[in-house]
Structure 1
């Protein structure tokens, strides 16, 4: 069992994640990792003790984003909650396009297991509610979350910045149509 981080270590890790998010957004995924350490106010050794490489820090930023998404949708009350979840997820994927590319190029598929598990945990409360309310097709299951996330992120992966938003909007429209319960209540 992993011990929780001491407060000072947790604060440094949070500073590194915030700095990584900002540096990657400003300079792109190929920005020097030293710039992240500098912005976080820590040394290089601290950066590499927390995150051995670019893939690990990109994954940590994405996990942090999914955790935030999970908090937002942990106690849904609106019947359209799962549609709202997918809409929010789409926006996050657009903002994190470069990070997603680094993670997709990861040396081992096992490194993505925590991200996939976190995504399912984040999505399930809203999926269950929207299914109960008859808004979302009843045959969707936890394993479909990975498919839906891949659909939302796949089209924008290599898209030029000028077309990324249009592709993301259209992909979201298609995904939302695909998950809605058919009229008349059948699957």
Structure 2
């Protein structure tokens, strides 16, 4: 006959949904870092290791490589939206967060070239998804754009973003940040601190 466990032997309660949410957030953060270091072809096992979880946990949240990339892109866009919506935020603040994402993610750069991607081969679902995310970025930035700003004309804002994103090159994050700042400077556009959105 088995004895019930003594109070000091009982298992801690299953953290359930809280652990799942933490694991998902850790996987997205790890994927962003791994993709910045090794590109979109990096092994999923490296993402799981960086997040401190097993591959089974990764696959419970993301069935394939495309789902991981989509989650990272969605999070990038959400952070730009949050930066633009934050109380007291300026266009320059939101542009600084966008610029940080440009220095971190080649996939994010591709997303912001949705018009170009639309003309290229690819599934209509992929093109539609990229276009929708790109439009969200534009709406967020336009919400903070002052009347009369040099990028206020219809196509100027996202054209400038595309031009700056094309300049974001370099093997280190510091070099990419220097390039993004120099590109905005050449366009005579002021940008806030190049950093992630601080919640």
Deviation at 1:112, TM superposition (A): 0.9
Deviation at 1:9, TM superposition (A): 3.7
Unaligned runs of 5+ in 2: 1-16, 191-199
**What is the Cα-based RMSD across aligned positions, in Å?**
3.4
Query: Which TM-score applies when normalising by structure 1?
Result: 0.65
Alignment length, in residue pairs?
Answer: 162
Q: Render the CA deviation track for 1:101-136: whole Å, top value 9, x for unaligned.
A: 675789431231342133134213212xx22xx4x1
Structure 2 SS opposite 1:115: helix
Match of 1:99 in 2: 107
Match of 1:89 in 2: 98
Q: Render the CA deviation track for 1:153-175: whole Å, top value 9, x for unaligned.
A: 1222xx34376444322321233
Q: Verify: 1:140 aligned to 2:153, yes or no.
A: yes
Q: When you count helix as a share of all residues, which structure comes out higher?
A: 1
Match of 2:77 among 38, 62, 66: 66
Deviation at 1:32, TM superposition (A): 1.2
In 2, Cα distance between equivalents of 1:102 and 1:57 = 16
Query: Which TM-score applies when normalising by structure 2?
Result: 0.61
Deviation at 1:28, TM superposition (A): 4.3
In 2, Cα distance between equivalents of 1:54 and 1:177 = 36
In 1, Cα distance between equivalents of 2:81 and 2:60 = 27
Distance of aligned partners of 1:137 and 1:61 in 2 relative to their CA distance in 1, 3 Å threshold: same
Deviation at 1:82, TM superposition (A): 1.9
- Maintained 8 Å contact 2:35/2:42: yes
Q: Verify: 1:38 aligned to 2:56, yes or no.
A: no
Deviation at 1:176, TM superposition (A): 4.0
Larger radius of gyration: 2
In 2, Cα distance between equivalents of 1:42 and 1:30 = 20
- Maintained 8 Å contact 1:73/1:125: yes
Match of 1:181 in 2: none
